[in-house]
Amino acid sequence: MSAHPGRLSFEPGALPATMEALRLQPALLDPFLAWAATLALNGVLSHRDHELLALRVASNCDSEFEWVEHQAYALNAGLSEAEIEAVRGAIEDGGWTPAEAALLRAADELAIDCDVSDETWTALSEHYDSSALVEIMFVVGQYTMLSMFANAAGITA
C-alpha cells in the first residue's frame, strides 16, 4: 500500500479518522454520516454480508485504514479471524457459501469492471431479493469511496 502521511491535518477525535478528515469540508459531514448510518444500520443485508463486502473492498483497494477498521466490525458480525483473513485470498480457497462467494465475486467485478457479470448477478439473485441487490452495489461503492479517500488523504490505521 502506498501511504501519503500528512496530506491532511486534523485533530483526532471520537469519529473514525476518515470522518474527522471529512470535517475539513463540514457541509459534507452530516449528509455523509446520515447516508453511512442508513446503509450500515438500516440495510437489508446481514451485518455479516455487509462486512464481507467492506473487507473485500478494503483488500481490493489496498486500504489499510478500512481493513483495520472493518476487522473489528466483522468480528462483531460473526466472522472468525480465519474468515477475515480468507477474504484477502482466492474465493475458491475460502470455504465460502455460494451466497458469500457471489458477494465476493461481485465486489471484485465492480472493482475491476464497474459492473457485475450476468453469471454473478444470477448467483446473487438466487440468494438475495431486489432490495439487497441494490444495497450490495451501494455497499461496494461506499467502501470503495472511503478506501480511496483514506488512501489519497494518507489516513492509515
Higher pLDDT, 106 or 9: 106
Mean pLDDT of the chain: 91
- Residue 63 pLDDT: 95
DSSP 15: S
CATH architecture of 47-152: Up-down Bundle (1.20)
Listed in sequence order, the DSSP H helices in 10-157 are 17-22, 26-41, 47-60, 64-76, 81-86, 98-113, 118-125, 130-153
Q: Are 106 and 124 in contact (CB under 8 A)?
A: yes
Can you give the pTM of this predicted structure?
0.90
Kindly report, residue by residue over 83-93, the tens digit of the pLDDT.
999 999 999 99
